[in-house]
Every structure is written in structure tokens, then in C-alpha cells.
Amino acid sequence: MSPYPTATETFWFLQEHPSCSVERYEIHSPEFDEIRSSVFSSIQLLMSTGDEASIDLAVRLRRHLSDWLTAPVPIEHIASALKDALPEFDGDRYGADVSMRLAHAHAIASDIRTHESPIRTRLRELLNAELNVGDCRIFCHRSSTQHYQSLLLDDALLISHHFLHGLKDYRQTGPFSTLIKVGPMRASGWGAIPDAVFTAPRQQAVIQVLWSRCGDEPGFPYSAVPGPVLHRPPRSQVINWSIGGDATAGARTLGETPPVVVDELQHFFLERSREDLRKAVLVHISTEFGIAYAPHATLVAFDPGSTRNAIREMVAGDELHEGMYVIRALLGDVDLGGVRAQHGHFSRQWKQRLEDEFRNDATALIERLHRAGLQLVHLRSALEHWRRPPSTVIHAPQQIRHFKILIEVLGMKFDGAAPVRGRGEWWMYAWNEIRRSRGEAIQAGFQGQDIVNEQLIAVLTNLLPRIKADAAQSHEFVISMPATQALQGGVHFNRVLNIEDGFLVPEAQLRLIDELGHFDQWRV
Amino acid sequence: MASTVHRTNDEKGLLHGTHLVDGDRGVVQYKEGDGSWIDVPAWAQFLIELGYYWSGEHARRRIALISLPCQSTGAGLIALGLLRNRMERPGADDLSRHFNRISELASDGDRRLRLVHRSRPRQRYVPWHVDADGVWVRQINVDNPVSRTIAASTAAEWHFEAEPQMQLAAGAVISHRQIYDAMIPGQAVCLTENLSRSDSAICLATEVLGEAAAQEKYTSTFFGDERHSVSLAELLTVHAWSSTVTSRVLLWNARLNRMDRAGTPHVVVADGHACFQRIINREEFQSADIVCVFHRLIDRTALEELGAKIGDLRQWYEDVPMAAETLPNGISMLTLARL
């Protein structure tokens, strides 16, 4: 049965509800203004340094701030994120100005952390009312779901049915009563929402709750063909919220630099649009991992429902659908002259060493890594992440430089008995193993990709009965190329669980497996 | 007997559907998927009638963009209305064009296409030459090939391999006549000869997902009633989808950029914004009207690309004013006519 509402159901709904009402609650808080202003200016300073670690922190803060502006994030979480942003060692690592601003923001957030965010208070009232009388939906990032669920005493009251995370979800949902949105109405950037919410509404009403100075995008919604107005002008209410007392006094003292009047989301979007990013769709291959493809890129995929040409090249944004399998061939590095490894061979060794050291004295390990130049903001949580055993990919640092430091600090190297093993150092083998697990085409240049694909399709088509049998059993499996074939290696099959559009990612990130959370920074 | 249109409310009392009552033509109802039979909903009737009253023979080429609030079979419904209009027009068929095509191939010595005679379905012929006796075709793949002549009067007995027949055997007609007749209230009925002949003035261009996806979509909408229901795919008479051997709608597969047979359509109905972008500049459609049906549940980039294309077109086309109040709520439409 089709997940979509029928056309007639949609027209019935529009006949009954010719236009959608909009209630807008704008919340003004001097304390939050102070926090966001300090964080925003810190981001600007960090970005201007050109220093890798500073930019790393800026990107992290940009993501946090975007989240705070578009989701009901508890103040406690804001305080905690700001605390994490403060350098654990070397207090002025990012410059005195940045440290002061972040410390200032953290102080305010800490002072008011026992108070509930006014956005959360208002949303709780609205949600309780809506859940009592109608069928509401919340449009938000997948990662923000928890903040809505935590609003209610019984978080089970909000289930996946209540959440819409993108255009595709909106397209598939049937008519409902109220759509709830935190943050501005924007078609691009963080917290974007489809124009269709107003041009092809599925809901009778929209409730928008947002912090002040978060402007809706001019020209939203956009219609290619001028059409009927399906929404009414918003009824707006401005709510002033200040907890007063020490925090306000503190804010006044520290607020010698008045809050910068800037639309952060718009600024970030414009900033990102200047970067060399490519439009992409994100293919979820598990609940944890995904691969980004340019929408018009072709990839080899397996369609279990197809009786003809079940394995063929498909256009990622057009022809690939949920239930099909992405095929990733890890081929050919046998001829590259040495630096190769089988999936998990090296990672098991360095992960075991990391596990031992972490268990023995995590703080000392962090200090050693820090001194060696691995100065990530969340180093402790990163280490915990890297300790995880290899799965679809090998959890490891994103950058080769960070990985090299980690391996050197762990003291991993070939023992003296095996110096002839290869031309490179231990960490190079281990890094190649990680690259392979992420799907990097290290066979590039070995043969033209089109020729590889052509041969691959021919070989795999001959193995179709076995592939179908494996697909019936598992969402993820590997087929080894027959020994008689010119192409050698393993072919990985990953079932497509979901396809999301709306990403702008760096060229180098395309076609690589990465954690879904990592792609959030490139969501538009 | 004159037709009368009786408008009834649906069960919710909300939607004014079209429930045709006509003693000769019967009643046509409508069903989507596994749903119930209902009167043809206003939005669907609007699109059928839009096609019916469009007519593809204006002095100036026209381009229409029809925007809907949901995914639908809208393009197919418009194509159905266009087809229904041609059904009542004398001479709305491919007979003369067919004979000319065979003659041209024979004159050019082009022997790539094979011909089949209705009464000898296993034998294959190729156009051979033209002389005073007519067009000669020659049998292939046999030791002692036979040559035959084709005249304008007998051309309908021949068809190209893998293409629809030009005309059904004497007395046979496309099924479901009562549904076609009842579809447009108060207008002329279909001509019997058109019900038995192929026509290629109307082209349906599929979504970019291609023909199989289009067939699946149009097979899930039905006209008729509990006892006699026909899918939209069947009513469209697309050659590969229909049980009949003639066809009155060309199919452009937007995935493969390929037509299902030769033809020069007067009107092309494009299913979706991506299909529209693919066909709008194609050489073979430059003299045809284009009617694009798209839904608004697409991303901003696609919307803006469509908006940019409309902006480009306005250099050579002007807006045709229309009364917005005639449109069902949720549908918007822009019509452009060549300057």
C-alpha cells in the first residue's frame, strides 16, 4: 500500500481547509541574547584564525548555536556544551578574546541553568493542548527529537509518527491538524523547512515558536507558478522572558559589548554557500552510517525487486530507492605495491592498545595526546568513540594527522622481527585500512571507474542467485570476487534504509561512509 | 438524449463531484488504489476537461504549467481529456500519415523497420520500392521472398513491428466506449471509426523514473463502477500498457529519452517538473504545445530551476490571462503563448 495520501484525500482536505492559520510566538530573552551573541562572535574570531583546531571548534559551536536556535534545547545542555567548548588544558589556546567570550556565555548559562528555557515552557503548553485535541506533527532535525520528547512527563507520548524531518516525510504524511516548528521559516540552511508547508499544506495550522531576531527568510514560501494563497498572515505574540536576579545583573555587568544584531542562521548559510560544497543526498545504510552522493551521480546498485538488470548503474537522486542495495567494491589494491590490509586487521590491534591505556589511566592518555598535538575539544568522548570495535566502518579520527598522533602515542609499530613487511610505517597500513572501510577509492587510477563498474556488473550478474539469497538474509553482506576474475577483492552490499536530500557536502566527502551525525554539519 | 450533469456532494458533504446521469452513456465513477468508488472528484474532472478543451491546434504554440498540491495522476488525466477530444473528431487518426511513412521509407530505401500484415502476423516485410502500382514491400527471412503492394486504401492492414496496428479488424472497436462517452458531460460522443484506429497527436511524457513507474501509477486509478472498472493506463491506450492493439497516445519515456513509436504530436503532456525540463527544448517537440503537470512538494532548488525556466520562456512567450476562480482550490496554472 502506498505510504502517500491519495490525491483526492489531499484535495478533500484543501476543500475543507482552504487556508492554513499561523500562530507565531517570538520569545525575547536578554540572557539568551547575551549567550548567542558571545558564541557567535567567538565563532567569527575562531574562523578568522585559519588554525585547524580553531576552525574545528568554530564548526562545532556553529552546529550548537544553530541547534539552540531551531530546537527546544534545555539551558542545561547549552551550559554543558559551552563548558565542553572551553579548553581543558591551555586556557588561552584559542586566544584570550575567545576564551573570555566563551567563559562569559558559559557563566550566564550556568547561572540560569536551573530555570527552564521559555521556549520549552511555551512548547510544553502548546504540545499538551495539541496532543489532547488533535493530530499534530513536529518538523525538526532527527537529532533534535529528544528535546521534544523530554518536554513531556511521558516521553512515549511523542513517537516517530509525530516527527517530520524533511520534504520526503512531509510528502508522505496524510492530513493532520497542527504543525509545530521551532525557529524561523527558511528554505535553506539549518532548520530549513519545505516551501510546501505553505504552498501545499497538509495541516490546518502552523505553530511557530522562535527566539527573537530569528527572521523568516524573505520570499518564503517560493512558488514557481503563482498560485492560490493557502496560508493566512501569522498572528504574532512576543513573549519577554528574563529571570532577573544575579544572572541578569551578571549579564549587565558583562554586557559592555551589546549583543550583536545579526541573523546567525542566515549568516551561517551565506558563509557555507561560499565554501566549495556540492549538493548531495544522504543514503542511510544503517541506523548509524550513511554515504553522501551527488544527486546526479551514478553508482552500482542492486534492486532485489527487479526481474531484469537487477544489478546496474543508477542515478543516486533519481533511481535509487529504499530497499535497494548500494554496492561498494573494494578492489584492486593488490597491485598498488604493499600498503594494504584486510578489514579490521590493524584496527583490532590499535583499538586493543587504546582500550588498555584508556582503562588504565584515561586522563594521562588524554594529556599525552594533547601534548603530542591532538587537541580536539571533546577528546575524551572521541577516544571513547574510537574504542568501539570495527563494524561497517572502523571508528577512528577523521584526519590522518590526528590518527598518526594517536598511533604514535599508543606506540604501535612493527616489531624488529618484521621490518621487511612493507615500505611504510605501521600507522600507514592502519590508516589505509580505515580509508578502505570508509569506501575511499584507493584503486583509483588502477582502472577507469566506468570499466570497473562494467566488469563488476557483469561478474555480479553471474552471481545473482547467491546475492539474492544473501539479501534475503541480511541488510549487509560481502561477496568475494571469484578467483578467476581480473578484479579481485570484496564487494560490500548495504541495504538502503533511507534517503535524505538537502545536503551540501565537500567534494572529498562524497561516496565515503561516515556517521550520520557527522553529516548534520552539511545539512541545508 | 441530452446529457445532464447532476452535481452531488460526497459523503463528507465537502466535495462537489461530477456524477453524470445520461440514459445512453451510463455513469462513470472513480477510484484511487484500494479506495471506494466515488463520483469523479472535481480536481480530476477539471484536469480531464482541461485536456478536452485544450485542443492542440492553435495558431501560436502554448505552454502550460499546472501546479498541484500533491503527487497525482494529473498528467494522465489531462492526456485522457485530450484523447477524448480527438475521439469525436472526424479524421483524427494516423491512416494517411501511416501510408506516407511507408512510402517514404520505400523511396529512401530504408529497410530497417519491418512491416506486418494483420492477417499474416508471422511474416515480416520491409519497404522495398515505389512505382506506379504503389508501394512495394518484400518479405524477409525466407528463401523465396514474396513481394506485395500497399495502397493508401490497404495501408491500414499493415503495421510496423512492435508498433500498434493502424486499425482494428472490421467491426472491432476499442473497449470501454461508454466510459469515454460519459467522461465529458454534454459533448459529442466518440466516433466509431476513431475507436478502432490509432492516432499519434497526443503524447504523454513520463516522469523521469520511466515507463514502468508511470504504468504502475496509472494502473492504480480506475474509472467505471463496481461491475466494470478500467484503469487509467488502459484508457490511455498506450501501446505497451493496453490490451487493445491500436493506440491513441504516444509515450515518451523520459528516463530513456525515447518515444514508443514514430510520431509528431500536437500536444505533449509532461509528468513532473524534471520531465518538463528534459523535453522543453527537444527538437521533436518544438511545434507541439506542452502541458506540464507538477506537484509543489519538491525542493527549493527544483522550484527555483523551474522558475528560472519560466523566466527564460517569457522572453519569447506571453502570459495568457485566465480566471483563477475557475481552478479547484490547491491548483494553480500558468499558460504562455508564443509571441
> Which residues in chain A have their CB less than 8 angstroms from residue B209's CB?
318-319
Res. A423 pLDDT band, cuts 50 70 90: low
Taking 60 as the threshold, does the pLDDT of residue B24 lie above it? no
Q: Stretch B165-185: mean pLDDT, rounded?
A: 86
Residue A450's pLDDT is 56
Answer whether A412's CB lies under 8 Å from A421's CB: no
Q: Stretch A244-249: mean pLDDT, rounded?
A: 41
Q: Stretch B54-77: mean pLDDT, rounded?
A: 90
Residues A148 and A71: their CA atoms lie apart, in Å, by 8
Cα nearest neighbour of A4 on chain B: B71
- Residues A71, A157 within the same domain: no
Tell me the percentage of chain A whose pLDDT exceeds 90.
36
Contact assignment for B38 to A15 by CB distance below 8 Å: no
Tell me the percentage of chain B whose pLDDT exceeds 90.
65
The contacts of residue A241 (CB under 8 Å, 6+ apart) are A27, A28, A29, A118
Q: Stretch A435-446: mean pLDDT, rounded?
A: 56
Res. A331 pLDDT band, cuts 50 70 90: low
Minimum mean pLDDT among A262-266, B155-159, B190-194: which range?
A262-266
Q: Stretch A26-53: mean pLDDT, rounded?
A: 89
Cell of B46: 477539471
Residues A37 and B206: their CA atoms lie apart, in Å, by 51
Q: Stretch A288-309: mean pLDDT, rounded?
A: 87
Q: Stretch B91-108: mean pLDDT, rounded?
A: 91
The tens digit of pLDDT for each residue in B284-302 reads: 999 999 999 999 999 888 9
Q: Are strands B221-224 and A498-506 parallel, antiparallel or unpaired?
A: unpaired
The tens digit of pLDDT for each residue in B216-253 reads: 999 999 999 888 899 999 999 999 998 888 999 999 99
Residue A334's pLDDT is 37
Name the maximum alpha-carbon separation found in chain A.
81
Res. A332 pLDDT band, cuts 50 70 90: low
Residue ranges of alpha helices (H) inside chain B are 42-54, 74-87, 95-108, 177-183, 211-218, 232-235, 273-279, 300-313
Cα-flanking dihedrals φ and ψ of residue B153, to 5°?
-75, -20
- Residues A359, A433 within the same domain: yes
Q: What does the mean pLDDT of chain A come to?
A: 82
> Which residues in chain A have their CB less than 8 angstroms from residue B327's CB?
228
Structural domain count of chain A: 4
Contact assignment for B297 to A223 by CB distance below 8 Å: no
Contact assignment for A10 to B70 by CB distance below 8 Å: yes
Closest CA to A347 of A411, A221, A433: A433
The tens digit of pLDDT for each residue in A351-410 reads: 999 999 999 998 899 889 988 888 776 788 788 888 887 766 788 887 888 898 999 999
Q: Stretch A497-520: mean pLDDT, rounded?
A: 83
Taking 90 as the threshold, does the pLDDT of residue A416 lie above it? no
Taking 50 as the threshold, does the pLDDT of residue A70 lie above it? yes
Q: Stretch A13-22: mean pLDDT, rounded?
A: 91
Taking 80 as the threshold, does the pLDDT of residue A317 lie above it? no
According to the per-residue pLDDT averaged within each range, which of A322-336, A466-480, A494-508 is highest? A466-480
Q: Note whether A294 contacts B: Cβ–Cβ < 8 A.
A: no
Cα nearest neighbour of B11 on chain A: A12
Q: Stretch A420-430: mean pLDDT, rounded?
A: 72
Res. A256 pLDDT band, cuts 50 70 90: very low
Cα nearest neighbour of A227 on chain B: B332
Residue A90's pLDDT is 57
Contact assignment for A200 to B70 by CB distance below 8 Å: yes
> Which residues in chain B have their CB less than 8 angstroms from residue A11's CB?
15, 41-43, 69-70, 328-330
Q: Note whether A89 contacts B: Cβ–Cβ < 8 A.
A: no
Higher local confidence (pLDDT), B283 or A435: B283
Q: Are strands B4-9 and B317-319 parallel, antiparallel or unpaired?
A: unpaired
Res. A515 pLDDT band, cuts 50 70 90: confident
Residues B44 and B73: their CA atoms lie apart, in Å, by 9
Answer whether A325's CB lies under 8 Å from A352's CB: no
- Residues A180, A262 within the same domain: no
Residue A230's pLDDT is 75
> Which residues in chain A have their CB less than 8 angstroms from residue B35's CB?
6, 8
Contact assignment for A12 to B12 by CB distance below 8 Å: yes
> How many angstroms separate the CA of residue A171 from the nearest CA in chain B?
6
Q: Which residue has the cell 540572557?
A: A31
Q: Stretch A193-197: mean pLDDT, rounded?
A: 94
Taking 70 as the threshold, does the pLDDT of residue B11 lie above it? no
> Which residues in chain A have their CB less than 8 angstroms from residue B310's CB?
224-225
Minimum mean pLDDT among A54-63, B8-17, B20-29: which range?
B8-17
CA A317-A321-A323 angle, to 5 degrees, is 155
Residue A422's pLDDT is 53
In a domain, A320, yes or no: yes
Q: Note whether A194 contacts B: Cβ–Cβ < 8 A.
A: yes
Q: Note whether A198 contacts B: Cβ–Cβ < 8 A.
A: no
Taking 70 as the threshold, does the pLDDT of residue A285 lie above it? yes
Residues A253 and B114: their CA atoms lie apart, in Å, by 91
Measured between CB atoms, which of A187, A225, A228 is closest to B330?
A228
DSSP letter string over A118-163?
HHHHHHHHHHHHHHHHS-EEEE--GGGHHHHHTTSSSGGGS-GGGE
Q: Note whether A191 contacts B: Cβ–Cβ < 8 A.
A: no
A513 in helix, strand or coil?
strand
The contacts of residue A306 (CB under 8 Å, 6+ apart) are none
Taking 70 as the threshold, does the pLDDT of residue A451 lie above it? no
Answer whether A309's CB lies under 8 Å from A293's CB: no
Cα nearest neighbour of B311 on chain A: A224
Taking 60 as the threshold, does the pLDDT of residue B9 lie above it? no
Q: Are strands B62-68 and B115-117 parallel, antiparallel or unpaired?
A: unpaired
B171 in helix, strand or coil?
coil
In a domain, A372, yes or no: yes
The domain limits of chain B are 4-93+172-338, 95-160
Q: Which residue has the cell 514508443?
A: B260
> How many angstroms separate the CA of residue B78 from the nearest CA in chain A?
15
Residue contacts between A and B (CB atoms, under 8 Å): 127
Taking 70 as the threshold, does the pLDDT of residue A333 lie above it? no
According to the per-residue pLDDT averaged within each range, which of A55-69, A231-245, A371-385 is highest? A55-69
Determine which of B296, B325, B327, B332 to mutate to test the interface with A (most A C-beta atoms within 10 Å): B296
Minimum mean pLDDT among A237-246, A323-332, B137-146, B180-189: which range?
A237-246
Contact assignment for B15 to A15 by CB distance below 8 Å: yes
Q: Note whether A403 contacts B: Cβ–Cβ < 8 A.
A: no
Taking 60 as the threshold, does the pLDDT of residue A340 lie above it? no
Answer whether A251's CB lies under 8 Å from A30's CB: yes
Cell of B155: 495501408
The tens digit of pLDDT for each residue in A101-138 reads: 999 999 999 999 888 999 999 999 999 999 888 889 99
Determine which of A10, A165, A173, A225 to mutate to test the interface with B (most B C-beta atoms within 10 Å): A225
Closest CA to B70 of A22, A319, A9: A9
Contact assignment for B330 to A4 by CB distance below 8 Å: no
The tens digit of pLDDT for each residue in A80-92 reads: 999 888 765 555 6
Taking 60 as the threshold, does the pLDDT of residue B62 lie above it? yes
Closest CA to A316 of A344, A283, A342: A283
Contact assignment for A8 to B41 by CB distance below 8 Å: yes
Residues A393 and A290: their CA atoms lie apart, in Å, by 10
> Which residues in chain A have their CB less than 8 angstroms from residue B44's CB?
7-8
Minimum mean pLDDT among A250-254, A273-277, A434-438: which range?
A250-254
> Which residues in chain A have their CB less than 8 angstroms from residue B274's CB?
318
- Residues A151, A269 within the same domain: no
- Residues A166, A311 within the same domain: no
> How many angstroms separate the CA of residue A516 from the nearest CA in chain B?
21
Residue type, A387: R
| A143: containing domain | 7-27+117-240
Contact assignment for A7 to B332 by CB distance below 8 Å: no
> How many angstroms separate the CA of residue B67 from the nearest CA in chain A?
7
Measured between CB atoms, which of B38, B73, B310 is closest to A224?
B310
Tell me the percentage of chain A whose pLDDT exceeds 70.
85
Contact assignment for B329 to A14 by CB distance below 8 Å: yes
Cell of A432: 589505509
Contact assignment for B65 to A195 by CB distance below 8 Å: no
Taking 70 as the threshold, does the pLDDT of residue A273 lie above it? no
Measured between CB atoms, which of A14, A171, A225 is closest to B297?
A171
> How many angstroms separate the CA of residue B38 from the nearest CA in chain A?
10
Res. A440 pLDDT band, cuts 50 70 90: low
Q: Stretch A509-523: mean pLDDT, rounded?
A: 82
Taking 90 as the threshold, does the pLDDT of residue A8 lie above it? yes
> Which residues in chain A have their CB less than 8 angstroms from residue B43's CB?
7-8, 11
Residue A488's pLDDT is 65
> How many angstroms separate the CA of residue B240 from the nearest CA in chain A?
17
Res. A243 pLDDT band, cuts 50 70 90: low
Q: Note whether A225 contacts B: Cβ–Cβ < 8 A.
A: yes
Contact assignment for A167 to B71 by CB distance below 8 Å: no
Contact assignment for A226 to B34 by CB distance below 8 Å: no
Q: What does the mean pLDDT of chain B come to?
A: 87
Residue A277's pLDDT is 79
